[in-house]
Amino acid sequence: MSWISDTQPLTQRETLNGDILPLTNNLMLRVLGNPRGNYDQSCQSVTHPVIRKLIVTESVGPFKVTGLKPAVDQLRSALTDLRTEMPEIYAVLGSAGMLCVRYVRGSKSSISNHSWGCAIDFTLEGKLDTRGDNRAQKGLIAMHPIMNRHNFFWGAAFKTEDSMHFEISRQQLLAWHRDGAFGEPQELPQEAHRFSIGDRGPEVEWTQQRLNILSGFDVDEDGIFGPATRAAVIEFQRQHGLTADGVVGPKTMEALKNAPTQ
């Protein structure tokens, strides 16, 4: 083993991806559909016929992956740059999988973005980075700007650090949809740009923090939009004369930003 798979602490994790945003369940379901009808913590197959047609198994350079065709192409492009710029890391890069239809680890409501074949977990020197210890393999730290450059969000910034994980950014998925990568593009309803139960990421964590500050709730600030967060959002909306649907859209976000603290 070399320095590449050795780990070091991460600082200021919330800034690691710059303006690149993670995917949301709400957006994925509206753009691509539901991969299957039921989920648990084990990897299952895609049953949605349209999504199945978009799944390919292809080489991306150092290994083969099974995933969503545009995401596989984007990954191949990123790894081509990695081979040129960081050949030492490229030589020991492996994969722990791309397509895996399941819930996010530890969740019973948030669908993993592996379920659409839009995320990949990397290994270095055959070693998988430990999730949730706020550390990352030095090779992942070194290569993450290249992945960002190709519109991959690094999971090191999730509330529960997941440094092995990279997923296609929200911006990239919307660009693909706009350009017809998934068939004839259709105008997305405003709801697709909102977030609700099953979503996760920095916006969810911020929402949980504001709900706790503004309304005295004790919602877990874990960045995962589960039933307790939805209930708190509904109560906040009810108190502020908003449609109490448990979905954080522009009006609810504006109220969260501007409401005075107690």
Burial class (CB in 10 A: 0-12, 13-18, 19+), 245: middle
Q: What is the pLDDT, as a whole number, of residue 262?
A: 63
Instruction: Give pTM, 2 decimals.
Output: 0.85
Q: Which CATH number fits domain 193-258: 1.10.3080.10, 3.40.50.300, 1.10.10.10, 1.10.101.10?
A: 1.10.101.10
Q: What is the pLDDT, as a whole number, of residue 189?
A: 60
Assess whether pLDDT exceeds 90 at residue 127: yes
Assess whether pLDDT exceeds 80 at residue 249: yes
pLDDT digits (tens, 9 = 90+) for 168-187: 999 999 999 988 999 887 77
Dist. CA 128–CA 164, nearest whole Å: 7
Nearest to 182 by CA among 63, 15, 48: 48
The first and second tokens of residue 41, run together, are 């913590």
For the chain, residues classed under CATH 3.30.1380 are: 16-179
Calculate the average pLDDT of the chain: 93
Q: 3-state DSSP call for residue 237?
A: helix
For the chain, residues classed under CATH 1.10.101.10 are: 193-258
Q: Which CATH number fits domain 16-179: 1.10.287, 3.30.1380, 3.30.420, 3.40.1440?
A: 3.30.1380
Q: What is the pLDDT, as a whole number, of residue 114?
A: 97
